[in-house]
């Protein structure tokens, strides 16, 4: 199969034109005329993952491997080292980042992972009703994401409604209109701001909140008659 064929399908699933100007979703390694044998899906890529997938494959990532402009390619430094390895194995790369966030990530996270009904969705925010105590809800989220110790900012005892932005959404805090905000990569000063403005925070981590990208896209491709392989990407963080 040619890249152009699957690229068209991916664009139907989540149009690449929806990405913001500063994003770099789309074809990153290879050309539309290139052919490939198998499709692998992963939230990110590292050396172990490159070693695990077969030659002449297509790797569809959530986060772009090439994000900022590269002025040189040093095989001893990230991300150039991975680019070298991918090219040697003739592995093509497509990224579905902010476009997929807008069309799928938050919605599926709420319904498929947390098990709640969506109330309203904006570009990077999806709202849902909770109606539980903060402690009960926070423990429930931690369990469903397999996070043993979850970071929170508790500003009230009861949560009526919540909003989620998977990945890193701390910059959205000022526009949040809910009792509780779930996102990852929460900074110290963002926590202070939330506390002072009486907004509860639950840090769902970047990796844990977007790990499900592969499963969500796998199901979309399966519905369109395409087989894909969910590649194993390990969290770069470890907990001791």
Q: Are residues 13 and 88 in the same domain?
A: yes
Give the per-residue pLDDT at 81.
97
d(CA 69, CA 210): 24
Q: Are residues 120 and 196 in the same domain?
A: yes
Q: pLDDT, tens digit, for every residue of 177-190? A: 999 999 999 999 99
Query: Would 70 be classed as within a structural domain?
Result: yes
Query: Would 240 be classed as within a structural domain?
Result: no
Q: Helix or strand or coil: residue 9?
A: helix
Provide, rounded to the nearest whole percent, the portion of the chain with pLDDT above 70: 100
Cβ-in-10-Å burial (0-12, 13-18, 19+) of 108 comes to: buried
Query: Would 237 be classed as within a structural domain?
Result: no
Q: Are residues 117 and 27 in the same domain?
A: no
Q: CATH no. for residue 136?
A: 3.40.1390.30
Query: Would 125 be classed as within a structural domain?
Result: yes
Q: Are 96 and 41 in contact (CB under 8 A)?
A: no
Q: Are residues 109 and 176 in the same domain?
A: yes
The tokens describing 81, both together, are 């080292």
Q: pLDDT, tens digit, for every residue of 74-103? A: 999 999 999 999 999 999 999 999 999 999
Return all residues near 78 (Cβ < 8 A) that are at least 6 apart.
none
User: What DSSP string describes 36-47?
Assistant: -SEEEEES---H
Interaxial angle between packed helices 3-13 and 213-223, expressed in degrees from 0 to 180 and rounded to the nearest 10: 110
d(CA 57, CA 36): 5
Domain span holding position 168 = 100-209
Q: Are residues 142 and 166 in the same domain?
A: yes
d(CA 198, CA 159): 12
Q: Are residues 110 and 185 in the same domain?
A: yes
> For residue 34, what pLDDT band results from cuts at 50, 70 and 90?
very high
Q: Are residues 198 and 130 in the same domain?
A: yes
**Number of structural domains the chain divides into:** 2
* Sign of the torsion formed by the C-alpha atoms of 201, 205, 211 and 217: positive
Query: Would 238 be classed as within a structural domain?
Result: no
Q: Are residues 87 and 161 in the same domain?
A: no
Whether the predicted pLDDT of 202 surpasses 90: yes
Q: Are 19 and 99 in contact (CB under 8 A)?
A: yes
> For residue 239, what pLDDT band results from cuts at 50, 70 and 90?
confident
Q: Are residues 32 and 58 in the same domain?
A: yes
Whether the predicted pLDDT of 169 surpasses 90: yes
Helix H, strand E, coil C: the string for 56-119 is CEEEEECCCCCCCCCCCCCCCCCCHHHHHHHHHCCCEEEECCHHHHHHHHHHHHHHHHHCCCEE
Q: Are residues 80 and 7 in the same domain?
A: yes
Q: Are residues 124 and 156 in the same domain?
A: yes
What's the predicted TM-score (pTM) here? Answer: 0.96
> For residue 194, what pLDDT band results from cuts at 50, 70 and 90?
very high
Q: Helix or strand or coil: residue 138?
A: helix
To the nearest whole number, what is the mean pLDDT of the chain?
A: 97
């Amino acid at each position: 199969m040619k890249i152009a064929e699957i690229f068209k399908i991916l664009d139907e699933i989540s149009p690449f034109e929806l990405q913001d100007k500063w994003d770099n979703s789309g074809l990153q390694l290879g050309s539309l005329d290139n052919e490939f044998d198998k499709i692998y899906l992963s939230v990110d890529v590292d050396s172990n993952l490159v070693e695990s997938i077969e030659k002449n494959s297509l790797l569809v990532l959530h986060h772009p491997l090439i994000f900022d402009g590269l002025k040189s390619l040093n095989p001893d430094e990230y991300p150039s080292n991975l680019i070298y390895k991918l090219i040697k194995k003739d592995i093509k790369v497509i990224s579905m980042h902010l476009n997929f966030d807008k069309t799928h990530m938050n919605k599926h996270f709420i319904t498929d992972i947390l098990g709640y009904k969506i109330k309203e969705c904006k570009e990077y925010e999806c709202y849902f009703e909770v109606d539980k105590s903060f402690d009960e809800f926070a423990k429930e989220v931690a369990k469903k994401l397999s996070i043993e110790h979850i970071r929170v900012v508790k500003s009230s005892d009861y949560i009526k409604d919540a909003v989620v932005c998977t990945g890193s959404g701390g910059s959205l805090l000022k526009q949040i209109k809910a009792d509780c905000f779930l996102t990852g990569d929460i900074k110290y000063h963002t926590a202070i701001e939330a506390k002072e403005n009486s907004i509860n925070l639950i840090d769902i981590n970047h990796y844990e909140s977007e790990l499900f990208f592969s499963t969500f896209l796998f199901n979309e491709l399966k519905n369109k008659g395409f087989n894909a392989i969910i590649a194993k990407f390990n969290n770069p963080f470890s907990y001791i």
